[in-house]
A = this chain, B = another copy of it.
Amino acid sequence: MQQLRRDPIIGRWIIVNYNQVNQPSDYQSESVEKKRVGKLCPFCSGNEDKTPPEIYVDRPVHARANEPRWNLRVIANKFPALRIEGDLERQGIGLYDQMNGVGAHEVIIETPYHEKDLADLSPDEVAKIILAYKHRCVDLRKDRRFEYIIIFKNHGASAGASLEHSHSQLIALPIVPKKTREALRGAELYYGYKERCVYCDIIRQELEEKERLVSETEHFVVFTPFASCSPFETWIIPKTHGSQFYHIREDLIGELAAVLQETLWRLKKVLTDPPFNFIINTAPIQHEQELDYYHWHIEIVPKLTRSAGFEWGTGFYINPSPPEQAAKWLREIK
């Protein structure tokens, strides 16, 4: 049996194929290669001179800047997708549009230890990373050229990581990206009709049905979305409505850190260290006020299947592991 499922926010469809359900072991060939400790790595402690200077750092009071003894560093990306200098000039060329590539591209080095992954860190260490994300957003949004900040992580070469030392990235953009606009538009339509946040409704339904639930804490819910594009796609969403990630209350960061670390650990155990991306989906940064219809969340997308002409041409995705079964595997791992 095949089933078509529609994403309730952006209207994308997926195909769940129950005839050829993939077990976690079917994805083992995709596991991330073991790290080659000892290779010269610019992100390791002691190699601070191999990177641009720190923009933000977590270190003991008496340690010196751009020297060892740090817990976490944020630096400018040496090979940025966009550059911080310059004005935003938008111009037309016939029917085309172009703009200067102005933006910020930063790297969050999550740990001084080469061999550790995010899933191996303590909740306290992960909390420092989330706090760094928040601080960098608060700082960068003062620059009025920027409309959106995307925070993401690539784990494993096939998920796009070019260095194996655990790090995440942040890009501030002069435009609200297409994917965010789609989600905002879909969520606003739903709100216009129901006068309720679609994400709040999803949380309610997932907590009631429980079959896609991975875990739950006082303030956060972890589940596999009904119309997951990727096998084992997993969302972490706050129970309390809020559209801006960087507005997260500081007293909840520890709880979110524990949930994120535990969820990544579950994925690592069930799927034997899969390559993955995670993305923090949040509202455009220049909105001063919270939006009633949008709800920030973390989307974790393991890279276990290859997208081909069909996916590229249609925007349909084929998911060979039903989200209900993925959630069960993730829930039951000890």
Binding site for B on A (CB under 8 A): 1-6, 8, 10-13, 15-17, 20, 79-83, 93-101, 148, 150, 152-154, 158-161, 169, 171, 173-175, 177-180, 182, 198, 201-202, 205, 209, 226-227, 277-279, 281, 299, 301, 306-310, 312-316, 318
Contact = CB atoms under 8 A, between A and B. Distances in A.
Contacts of A205: 94-96
Nearest to A148: B314
Contacts of A180: 314
A98 B5 contact: yes
Stoichiometry, copies per complex = 2
A13 B315 contact: no
Nearest to A12: B178
8 contacts: A8-B95, A15-B81, A15-B82, A150-B313, A158-B306, A159-B306, A177-B316, A178-B314
Contacts of A226: 93, 96
B3 A100 contact: yes
Contact of A299 (B13, B153, B299, B313): B313
A80 B1 CA distance: 10
A12, A95, A97, A308: most-surrounded residue (chain B CB, <10 A): A308
A145 to B, nearest CB: 12
A154 B98 contact: no
Interface of A is mostly: mixed
A13 B78 CA distance: 23
A307 B99 CA distance: 22
A277 B148 CA distance: 31
B95 A314 contact: no
Contact of A152 (B10, B80, B306, B310): B310
A13 B171 contact: no
B152 A209 contact: no
B101 A15 contact: yes
Given A4-B98, A158-B306, 12 more contacts: A2-B83, A4-B100, A6-B97, A12-B178, A148-B314, A150-B310, A177-B314, A178-B316, A277-B313, A281-B313, A299-B313, A301-B312
A3 B175 contact: no
Contacts of A279: 309, 312-313
A234 to B, nearest CB: 14
A178 B315 contact: yes
Nearest to A182: B315
A212 to B, nearest CB: 10
A286 to B, nearest CB: 16
B201 A95 contact: yes
Contact of A81 (B152, B281, B310): B310
Contacts of A4: 82, 98-101, 174-175
A175 B13 contact: yes
B13 A178 contact: yes
